Amino acid sequence: MTDTANPLVPAASFVHPALFYRTSQEYVDTVGSFARAALAADEPCLIAVPGTQLEAVRPALDDAKGDVEFVDMTVLGRNPGRILAALQSFADRHPGRPARIVGEPIWAGRTGAEILEATRHEALINTAFAHRGATILCPYDVTALPEHVVADARRTHPTIWDGGEDLASPAYTDPAAVCADCDQPLPEPDRATVLAYSAGQLAEVRRHASSWARTTGLAPARQGDLVLAIGEATANSLTHGGGSGTLRLWTGQGAAVIAEIHDAGHLSDPLAGRSRPLLTSAEGGRGLWMIHQLCDLVEIRSTRDGLTLRLHMNP
């Protein structure tokens, strides 16, 4: 056992353990102890877990002295691409103090596509927080999640907290390699509306997307969000993706609305869009960040054939 990996011991550097839990009581005890340790050390604490888990943990901390911020991960992390920026924002609000965060981005009932992007998120945490003092504890219900999800947790977390012990994970893998493994082929739709575009056609793309969105079950406000996200993605194609691209539109399971933008670009920074860009920065990333905020799921594939963004909007 190593104290530097123990999520109950304050860390001056970055620590990212997975918590493998089997019962609700084990969950409450460990997360509660984690939060109490943070408060005892006068460290800011964020607990971002699904709502049912929040209901279980809150009573255990009612008498704790200090502030703990609670967030429902099913809302915050509906699109896994939003989570990292929120965690960084929490840490940034407390400069000079190590942040303590419980983040549970994967739970039973997540779709396969959501789990894949949440796994990418878990890998990128290690890159985004590499040089700052923080502990991010990520619970995994090993009785309810598929074995491949638990196996990926071993790859994305340097240490595992299991049965009261903190152990180094021999399966831990470089985040870049995990992200490359997440670039799995996307399933083809049964049918889609297709529009090729190039320079000077952004207004046409927006009109086409807006007209198509009105035929879906999306509320007017969500139609506007979809058109805005498509506009940002296609504009990126013209600036960074070779000057042209292809837009495909279709409806999926449960009346979900899906837009796919493909171009000849490549994503050189895997954190682009997941870390909130600075307003003063000359670097890009603002459009992709906005897309993540607008959509319920963003699937990204960066391959030899180019860059594909698949944007999901739920009705």
Q: Where are the beta strands (DSSP E) in 184-256?
A: 193-198, 244-251
Structural domain contains residue 187: no
> So what's the pLDDT on residue 284?
55
Instruction: Check if the beta carbon of residue 249 is closer than 8 Å to that of residue 299.
Output: no
Residues 175 and 90 in one domain: yes
Q: Are residues 27 and 131 in the same domain?
A: yes
Contact between 298 and 291 under an 8 Å Cβ cutoff? The reply is yes
pLDDT tens, position by position, for the chain (315 residues)? 344 445 555 455 899 999 999 999 999 999 999 999 999 999 999 999 999 999 999 998 887 767 899 999 999 999 999 999 999 999 999 998 999 999 999 999 999 999 999 999 999 999 999 988 999 999 999 999 999 999 999 999 999 999 888 899 999 999 999 999 999 999 999 999 999 999 999 999 999 999 999 999 999 999 999 999 999 999 999 988 899 999 999 998 888 999 999 999 988 889 999 988 775 554 556 899 999 999 999 999 988 889 999 999 998
Total Cβ atoms within 10 A of residue 216: 18
Whether 5 maps to a domain, the answer reads no
Residue 188 maps to a domain:
no
Residues 6 or more apart from 62 whose CB is under 8 A from it? none
pLDDT at 246: 97
- Nearest Cα to Cα of residue 250 among 312, 297, 186: 312
Q: How many domains does the chain have?
A: 2
Q: Cα(91)–Cα(77) distance, rounded to whole angstroms?
A: 17
Q: How far apart are CA 55 and CA 250, in angstroms?
A: 37
Same domain for 295 and 235, yes or no, is yes
Q: What's the rounded Cα separation, in Å, for the pair 185 and 182?
A: 9
Stretch (H or E) spanning 309:
strand 306-313
Tell me: do 242 and 162 sit in the same domain: no
Residues 128 and 229 in one domain: no
309: in domain: yes
pTM beyond cutoff 0.75: yes
Q: Are residues 43 and 101 in the same domain?
A: yes
Burial class (CB in 10 A: 0-12, 13-18, 19+), 177: exposed
Domain range for 147 is 14-182
The C-alpha R_g of the chain, in whole angstroms, comes to 20
Q: Among the three residues 158, 182, 206, which one is the final residue of a domain in this structure?
A: 182
Q: Which two tokens stand for residue 309?
A: 């963004």
Beta-sheet strands, E only, within 93-213: 99-103, 134-141, 159-162, 165-168, 193-198
Together in a domain, 198 and 133: no
Q: Do 165 and 62 have their domain in common? A: yes
User: Which CATH number belongs to the domain containing residue 106 in this structure?
Assistant: 3.40.50.300
